[in-house]
Structures are given as structure tokens and as C-alpha cells.
Amino acid sequence: MTDTTIRRYTSERETEDQQAEEEAAVVCPECGGSLVSDSERGETVCEDCGLVVEEDEIDPGPEWRAFDSTEKDKKSRVGAPTTNMMHDKGLSTNIGWQDKDAYGNSLSSRQREKMQRLRTWNERFRTRDSKERNLKQALGEIDRMASALGLPENVRETASVIYRRALDENLLPGRSIEGVATSSLYAAARQAGTPRSLDEITSVSRVEKDEIARTYRYVVRELSLEIQPADPESYVPRFASDLDLSEEVERRARQLLQNAKEQGVHSGKSPVGLAAAAVYAASLLTNEKVTQSEVSEVANISEVTIRNRYHELLEAEDSVHP
């Protein structure tokens, strides 16, 4: 019975409504979507409708309109346009696979061997490089999200360790860096006992909730991380302070939760819901009343759930404390 509880709620679910606006400094005049600047192409584009608001800040591509090849050579900037499709934007060295020299002549066998060795080494450096870049970007993201969520240093630390492991075990191919980075952070926060709900995580990530959940499950499984379902108590302080409630309420809420725990009432229920209900119940018991809708607001849980849970909590309390 407790067993199923542990497996349920490896991921939380909550309400959908998020204030996704926070990051968008500017808003699209056309559809109200958020604007994203693409420094690569020198444009500012709306995420939703694709409207290009500003363009040609800097154009990395070749200049157009060359009338003959000499002019083209003069005008074109050095190198091919960069692309995001490759980790190094196509700027690294590539060695052709054909055993031909620059004139198309075949190579001697000695030369062929040499080329083969060069290819091997070049590939090694290139991939090591790619991992490094990958890591840099991911760690940056983790840092950004962690501070947006007010997560402490040690959580970022664990998150990056998890990410590194994922990278080492080649879990990345087929998955986005963002997604894995987000999942790592989610896992780390839970492991550290300062959980953030999936929705909170989603609100600061650039990745969809579904993908985060999916990737999270995958990473946890592949790395066999052992992560217990979140402890409802760990949400209490945050909710309490968001609602400007006293220490007393917080203590009381904890008490209720511990009681419930002993009686196994909380099996299979959402930890967030439990925590929210406990805070609400505690606020009643200590005459520092907050409304259900206020609690549901900060906890991102429906009022109905709060009602159901807090009845159960009080019942459990009564049976011990008549």
C-alpha cells in the first residue's frame, strides 16, 4: 500500500494556470505573445504568431547582389553562414571521408592510414568540445531557473551533478538540453528536500510540462536515482510565508501532517494538496484565518481538494485528540 504511494507522485500534477508573462520584457503588438530576440539572425520575433518586429540588426549571412564571381568573393564575408543545427554552429574542422587529396587524386596507403588517425582524433576533440559547450549551456540554464525559483546553492550543485551524469551516460541524444537540465533541477530540488512542484518548474523552464515530466521519468530511471515522493511538510514553510502566517500556524500545520502520516491517511494523495490543507486547517485552529481560495492560490491546488484533505486531517487529529 505504501508501495503504490511511493510510485504515485513521482511527479506532481497541479493546475494549469501559470503567469508565463514574467520573462517577456516586450509583448507582441499583433497577438500579445512574448517576443524573443534571435541574435543569430538579428531579428526579434514573436513566439506565438511569428511576427518579426525588428530585423537586420546584424545579418550573419553573405551579402547579396554580387554581379560576378570576383565581386562575390569581395563581398561575401568569410566562411559559411552559421547554423544552430550543429553544436558548434558548423565552425569546427571537418575532414572528408573520401581518401582523396585536394585535387581528387587517391591517396597512398600510408597517407590513408594517416588520414584515418587524423579523423579519429579530430572526432574526439570535436565531441569533447561539444560536451563542454552542452554542459556550459545546461549549467547556465540550471542556474537561471534555480535562482528564479529561489533554490539554494546546494540544489544547483546536485542538479549539475545529475546533468553531468546524464551527459556521461549518453542520455542526451534525442532529448533537448533544456529538458534534461530542467529535469535535473526538478530531481535535485526534490532530493534536497526543497521540492518545487512540476508547475512551478514549468513556469521558469523553456520546455513544456509534458516533456519535463517525460524526461524526468526517463532520467530517474536511467540513472536509478532514488527519489521519495515529496514530503508535504517541505511545502509548508513556503505556503505559510506566502500567506504571511505566523510560526505558530506553521508548527500546527506540521503537527497535523505528522499525525496524518502516522495514520497513513496521506497515502496516494498529492503532497501539495496535503500541505495546503494543513496550512488552511492550522490557520483555523490558531485563529489566523485565511480563506480557502487564498491558500489554493499560493499552492496552485483547487479549493475542493483543500476541503477534502483538511477534513481528513481534522478527522485524523480528532481520533488521536478527542
Partner DNA sequence: ATGGTTTTTACTGCGTC
Partner DNA sequence: GACGCGGTAAAAACCAT
Residues that bind DNA (CB under 7 A): 4, 7-11, 13-17, 213, 267-270, 273, 289, 291-293, 300-305, 307-309, 311
The residue (of 184 and 300) whose beta carbon lies closer to DNA is 300
Rounded (5°) CA angle 19-22-24: 120
Residue 63, CA distances (Å) to 74, 75, 215 in order: 10, 6, 42
Shortest distance (Å) from residue 273 CB to DNA: 4
Question: Minimum Å distance from CB 302 to DNA?
Answer: 3
**CA terminus-to-terminus distance, the chain:** 28
Measured from the CB atom, the residue of 28 and 271 that comes closer to DNA is: 271
Q: How far is the CB of 144 from DNA (least distance, A)?
A: 24
Burial of 305 (0-12, 13-18, 19+ CB in 10 A): buried
Least distance to DNA from the beta carbon of 184, Å?
18
Sign of CA dihedral 48, 87, 148, 229: positive
Report the alpha-carbon distance of residue 264 to residue 198 in Å, rounded.
24
| CB-nearer residue toward DNA: 196 or 269 | 269
Distance, in Å, from the CA atom of 86 to the CA atom of 240, rounded to the nearest integer, reads 47
Q: Which is nearer to DNA, 138 or 253 (CB)?
A: 253
Q: Is 83 left (phi over 0), alpha (psi -120 to 50) or beta?
A: beta
Closer CB to DNA, 77 or 311, in the complex: 311
Contact 178, 208 (CB under 8 A): no
Minimum Å gap between C-beta 297 and DNA is: 11
